[in-house]
Amino acid sequence: MIHWNRPVGRAEDLPTPDSSVDLITSATASHYFDWTEFRKEVNRVLKPNGCLAVLAFDIIYIDHPDDVIMKKLNDCIDSYLDYTNNRDLKASTPVGYQHMKEKYTTLQLPFADQKSIMTILGGGDPDVTMVTSWMPIFIRFARKPGTNL
């Protein structure tokens, strides 16, 4: 039987007992964490062989058979994302903003056993607007050392 517990707390101060968690996940939020404190907290709450999975999305990309339309669509998206990222993320967490821009490759995960994956969400056949969109997703995993399974 799986026991599911969803305590609410800050990433840097999880309301969870020591060595009690098998998996910690974070989706599109890790760039807001204080990673110095979060790494300590991950190490504290994960069981031996427990995993940390950190996921984020890159910007959306647009493809269109007409280069002029495609450029206008992509410029519009870039302009909006630059505005929101600069206003919200860069202003409040400049280090986190840099992590996002670098696709989390510079995050110092707490354990040496790591893996990175980048995949694409979307693509396929264009819809009636003749627009195809896709969004890269990047995931970093780290496993806490423990006994061999």
DSSP labels for 16-68? S-TT-EEEEEEES-GGGS-HHHHHHHHHHHEEEEEEEEEEEE---EEE-SSHH
- Taking CA atoms, 116 is separated from 16, 32, 110, in Å, by 27, 20, 14
pLDDT at site 123: 52
pLDDT per position as a tens digit, 3-40: 776 767 888 999 989 999 999 988 878 878 888 899 99
DSSP 71: H
pLDDT per position as a tens digit, 123-139: 555 444 555 555 667 77
> Phi and psi (nearest 5°) for 48?
-55, 140
> Phi and psi (nearest 5°) for 126?
-70, 155
At the topology level, CATH places domain 21-143 in Rossmann fold (3.40.50)
Give 82 or 54, the one with higher predicted confidence: 54
DSSP 3-state of 97: helix
Which structure tokens are listed for 116?
A: 């990175």
